[in-house]
Structure 1
Amino acid sequence: MPRAYWINTFRSVSDSDKLRAYVELAGPAMKESGGRFLSRGKAVAAFEEGTPERTTLIEFSSVEAAVAAYHSDAYQAALAALGDGAVRDIRIVEALD
């Protein structure tokens, strides 16, 4: 079963306190679900319709594991903390190898 990558791009942040609360909960939730952070932070460069806001890349053992992480109680608590504090784009893609 191929690995999967979770790509979380923040399109905009309207409440830095809510973002901070989300980050404190989301990181441990991803790790508990088997995620391994490969990159996170503001984009070094953004092209076309890309945004320089915070982007996170997390590796999972499979697509199923990544989707389960999203639906986990721990991650849902992180989402509740974020609330309307940001607009994001989350994608889960399957690795090629």
Structure 2
Amino acid sequence: MKAYWIAHVDVTDPEQYTEYTRRAPAVFARYGGRLLARGGRAEALEGRATPQRNVVIEFDSYDQALACYRSAEYQEARGHREGAAQAEVIIVEGLSG
């Protein structure tokens, strides 16, 4: 079953955050991740206010998505996000069939 990496991000240092956005997509691709949404228009209809950025990445499996997040390559890229953004990241398994 496919899995989805969903991130809600509020950027506090756009210049530093750019370094993260430069590096992370290559890591996602190495693990078969496909960016479905990255930034763009969004509106909160229920719950908390809309974060500045919403990101959805599709993976072929839950294990692939976790492996990507836990990889040394992603953790190195993630280091460039430290101090530049507040992020919530979840991985959710898709529906079967």
> By the TM > 0.5 criterion, same fold?
yes
**What displacement does 1:56 show?**
0.8
Give the equivalent residue in structure 2 for 1:30. 28
In the alignment, structure 2 segments of 5+ residues that lack a partner are none
How many equivalent pairs are there? 95
In the alignment, structure 1 segments of 5+ residues that lack a partner are none
The reply on whether 1:78 has 2:77 as its aligned counterpart is: yes
Report the RMSD for the aligned CA atoms in angstroms: 1.2
1:1-97 counterparts in 2 under 5 A? 2-10=1-9, 12-47=10-45, 48-97=47-96
**What displacement does 1:76 show?**
0.8
Q: State the alpha-carbon separation in 2 of the partners of residues 60 and 50 from structure 1.
A: 27
Q: TM-score, normalised by structure 1?
A: 0.90
Q: State the alpha-carbon separation in 1 of the partners of residues 11 and 79 from structure 2.
A: 15
Q: What is the percent sequence identity of the aligned residues?
A: 36
